[in-house]
């Protein structure tokens, strides 16, 4: 008996032009759904309202379903990585993390943004948000053919750790912190996974002992995050940082030159998010009956 899995998985790793277009469309539908969700983010809605908005938007755009259970996590719920309960009320002053993607003609999309419920980040939220965003951008910069799969993760991790040291949430030299794994209590997951017919798609990440090289046609996510549990007793954590969970995720297509960010149309700069939420609040058609 010869199992064909390995051969098929390798074929799925490199997307044809047709597949790339489908994945770009799936990403675009998920981006539009995020904008629709962002339009209702506020203190009087629940995580369920937002999940419903996402699903409604997918179907309006002719995607059949979600690619995985949507994660709509407000406040400390965002510190639970695969939180899917989606029933809490959004509270003024908290954040809401939305990790959601549609499936289009069997192809998955996957995108995460984190928004301030009240429309403005608190100083502590903004500190952490800007570190995660810098890590996301550093990882994307490392997404190019010829770089090995783990380079985006290494780039993101260095930025996260340097930022956490600067905030005083970790102590020591960045290289040493990373070698000891001290950052895992705030950054517990890897930065990337393959994306394709499945959200965590098949395909080896290593060939033998070494990380494999990125090649044109591969699609992967970059999704650095920082999670600071409210009751963490293992570190000196000032109150404003407690209970924050922030992740910023994009889907990346490796090209001959550099990469294409399939989810690029979704804003992620904190100023842009605040400006969009402020403009929305002043617009009469955003009035919502709850």
Binding site for Mn ion (CB under 5 A): 110, 221
CB nearer ligand GLY, residue 199 or residue 261: 199
> What are the residues binding ligand GLY (CB under 6 A)?
68, 99, 110, 199
Q: Binding partner of residue 149 among Mn ion, ligand GLY, none, CB under 5 to 8 Å per kind?
A: none
Cα torsion angle, 69, 71, 77, 82, sign: positive
* Residue 109 interface partner, choices ligand GLY, Mn ion, none, CB cut-off 5-8 Å depending on type: none
From ligand GLY, Mn ion, none, which one binds at residue 115 (CB under 5 to 8 Å depending on kind)?
none
118/221 with CB nearer Mn ion: 221
Query: Phi, psi (5° rounding) for residue 210?
Result: -110, 150
- Closest distance to ligand GLY from the beta carbon of 224 (Å): 12
Q: Cβ(72)–Cβ(50) under 8 Å?
A: yes
Nearer to Mn ion, 25 or 221 (CB): 221
Q: Extract the runs of DSSP E, i.e. beta strands, from 117-265.
A: 206-207, 210-211, 219-222, 225-228, 244-247, 250-254, 259-261
CB of residue 247 vs Mn ion: minimum separation in angstroms?
A: 9
By the 8 A CB rule, do 88 and 51 touch?
no
Query: What's the closest the beta carbon of residue 199 comes to ligand GLY, in angstroms?
Result: 6
Burial class of residue 141 in the structure, from the number of CB atoms within 10 Å of its CB (0-12 exposed, 13-18 middle, 19+ buried): middle
Query: Residue 103 or 127: which CB sits closer to ligand GLY?
Result: 103
- Output the CA torsion 12→15→21→23 (10° steps): 40
User: Nearest distance from residue 286's CB to ligand GLY, in Å?
Assistant: 28
């Amino acid at each position: 008996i010869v199992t064909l899995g390995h051969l098929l998985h390798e074929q799925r790793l490199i997307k044809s032009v047709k597949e790339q277009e489908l994945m770009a469309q799936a990403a675009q539908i998920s981006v539009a759904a995020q904008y629709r969700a962002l339009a209702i983010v506020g203190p009087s809605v629940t995580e369920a309202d937002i999940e419903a908005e996402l699903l409604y938007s997918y179907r309006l755009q002719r995607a059949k379903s979600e690619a995985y259970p949507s994660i709509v996590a407000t406040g400390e719920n965002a510190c639970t990585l695969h939180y899917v309960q989606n029933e809490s009320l959004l509270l003024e002053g908290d954040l809401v993390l939305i990790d959601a993607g549609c499936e289009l003609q069997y192809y998955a999309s996957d995108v995460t943004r984190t928004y301030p419920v009240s429309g403005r980040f608190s100083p502590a939220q903004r500190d952490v948000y800007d570190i995660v965003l810098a890590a996301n951008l550093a990882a994307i910069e490392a997404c190019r053919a010829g770089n090995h799969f783990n380079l985006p993760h290494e780039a993101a991790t260095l930025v996260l750790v340097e930022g956490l040291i600067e905030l005083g949430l970790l102590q020591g030299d960045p290289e040493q912190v990373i070698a000891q794994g001290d950052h895992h209590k705030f950054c517990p997951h890897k930065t990337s996974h393959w994306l394709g017919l499945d959200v965590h798609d098949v395909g080896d990440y290593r060939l033998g002992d070494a990380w494999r090289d990125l090649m044109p046609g591969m699609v992967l996510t970059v999704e650095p995050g920082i999670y600071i549990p409210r009751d963490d007793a293992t570190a000196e954590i000032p109150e404003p940082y407690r209970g924050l969970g922030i992740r910023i995720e994009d889907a990346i297509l490796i090209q001959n030159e550099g990469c294409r960010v399939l989810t690029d149309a979704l804003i992620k700069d904190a100023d842009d998010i605040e400006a969009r939420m402020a403009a929305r609040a002043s617009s009469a058609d955003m009035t919502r009956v709850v």
